[in-house]
Amino acid sequence: MALTQSQAKSPARFKIEHIVLGIVILLLIIGALFDKPISQTIMDQNSYFGTLFQNYSLVFPAIILFMSTQVLFYRIQKSNVDATAKFAVMFLTLVVAIYETWQTVKIALIYTISSLNNIKNKAPIGAANNDNGKHAALPTWYMPTLVIVTIILVIIGLALCYKWLATKDEVEMQRLTYVALAAALAVLAADIIVNTMKDFWGRFRPYEMKSDWSNFTSWLHVNGQNGHKSFPSGHSQEAWIALLLPLFVSPKLGQKRRNTFIFAVVFGCLVALSRLRLGAHFLSDVTMGSFISILVIYVMARILNEKLMGDPLNNIN
């Protein structure tokens, strides 16, 4: 009996999944054996590459939630539900979009202020406050900048989302509604998993090591809650959330979805490497942080019956 296209492609997909899992396991084994020498060799808190991604890479959870809320906003706007319910949903989605933008700009500004203070005090530019440390005093320009940049980004985001969604038909809007709900859940789930593990593991970061590295522990060793949160990497986890972007691209645009997927993978790898370079995390930290987002997104994509890379023949699953 002849195989359908979907059946014919399943072995290839099965192989890719096993390759990814194999890479993750291999990196975790390497980390268990060589985390310390790897970080000692490549760590540099004066790295501009590491500082750039540390300060400005935590954008994709907010972008995904912004897009998801706007999908729900336009979906409910055209529905026939009760006016009060419609207004409530539209108001809440707008509030979430503004809040997520505000939080992302806030984090970027705080990191920027930290870098500027480091330059002023002749400290390594990428040195960040310890997990249980105090943040530097905020300058007078912080709040006005936060408000202005947030307003500008929200306006741009709303305009782009309107342009994106205005041309969608009912079938595509229904698909995007499911994607939006699943994507929001994926962002929340990955964040909860990583933050819970951070608290539970209590691992010291490379830049928190004593001169003799006597406080180094393998990722296999659980320290418990102590205020240190190196394992897993939150930056890596949030960077790989970009893998949700292809799901917002129409399955009919197979090549565009594939290109978006490639961009997300490259971005995730660069952020993970930047965390190693800056001494904010060990190899095993960034591997586990990346894997958590990849796994959560993979599960969501399978539930939605969507291909992250798209179909070059423009076929829908």
Report the pLDDT value the prediction gives residue 14, as an integer from 0 to 100. Answer: 65
Instruction: Give per-residue pLDDT as tens, 136-156.
Output: 678 999 999 999 999 999 999
Taking the CA atoms of 297, 301, 304 and 308 in sequence, report the sign of the dihedral they define. positive
8 A C-beta contact, residue 234 and residue 195: yes
Q: Cα–Cα–Cα angle for 70, 71, 77, nearest 5°?
A: 85
d(CA 159, CA 207): 42
**Per-residue pLDDT for 317 more than 80?**
no
**Per-residue pLDDT for 313 more than 50?**
no
d(CA 169, CA 160): 17
Residue 305 pLDDT grade (very low, low, confident, very high; cuts 50, 70, 90): confident
Phi/psi at 37 (nearest 5 deg)?
A: -65, -30
SS3 252: coil
Cα separation values, 15 from 19, 22, 115, Å: 6, 10, 43
Instruction: Give per-residue pLDDT as tens, 265-291.
Output: 999 999 999 999 999 999 999 999 999
8 A C-beta contact, residue 312 and residue 255: yes
d(CA 196, CA 225): 10
d(CA 150, CA 100): 10
d(CA 163, CA 122): 46
Mean per-residue pLDDT, 211-223: 94
Tokens for 72, please give them. 């729900």
d(CA 243, CA 128): 27
